[in-house]
Amino acid sequence: MPSVTNNHFSSQEKSAIDRAIAQHSGHPGELLSILEVVQSANPHKYLSLEALRYVAERTGIPPATVYSTATFYSLFNLEPQGDNVICVCRGTACHTRGSRALLERLCLDLGLSEHETGETRDSERIALTTPDHRFTIRTVACFGQCALAPVAEVNHHIFSHVNERILQREVKALTQGRK
């Protein structure tokens, strides 16, 4: 597990982890359930390295197993998320219907560069957050709604046959606090 220090690991988070462990320990898929609870309890919806270490320490699960589980599943975030999360599908059906252009436009409008992460290939996931933490832009491999391509998700609300105008309208509404 990398040795990055995070100074924001609070006693509240420790308590949330203790409760999650008490609730799910000994059940099938306990680690996944615990990590889900821990992430949702974090104000920025992510799993810090300190949280992962604490989970390992308290459960007795090897740190490498905890870390590899957190990095394997796309539902887990290892970086703080923005207040609003917009997810653009980059699967084949959505790609052929223009999802790359949608993603590029979104990044441009929010002042984000896909190249910041060095992850520029279509097949790779990206997760970029604006410096003010208002927005996180993510990609997924497929929402499982290919017939409705292109598909995007704004704060867990799915938009099918989405276009630039719709995404810009949503961003504007969120920026102005109308949502």
Binding site for ligand FES (CB under 6 A): 89, 91-94, 142-143, 145-146, 149, 151
Q: What is the dihedral of CA 101, 106, 108, 109, to 10 degrees?
A: 140
> Which residue's CB is nearer to ligand FES, number 78 or number 140?
140
DSSP 118-150: T--STTS--EEE-TTSSEEEEEES--S-GGG-S
Structure tokens given for 33: 């359930």
> Which residue's CB is nearer to ligand FES, number 6 or number 155?
155
CB 160, min distance to ligand FES, A: 9
CB 88, min distance to ligand FES, A: 9
> Which residue's CB is nearer to ligand FES, number 94 or number 174?
94
Structure tokens given for 16: 């949330």
CB-closest chain residue to ligand FES: 91
CB 170, min distance to ligand FES, A: 18
* 59, 31 contact by CB (below 8 A): yes
**Measured between alpha carbons, how far is 108 from 127 in angstroms, rounded to an integer?**
14
Cis peptide before 150 (omega within 30 of 0): yes
CB 144, min distance to ligand FES, A: 6
CB 93, min distance to ligand FES, A: 4
Structure-token match 């996944």, residue found: 32
> Which residue's CB is nearer to ligand FES, number 21 or number 106?
106
3-state secondary structure of 108: helix
> Which residue's CB is nearer to ligand FES, number 6 or number 96?
96
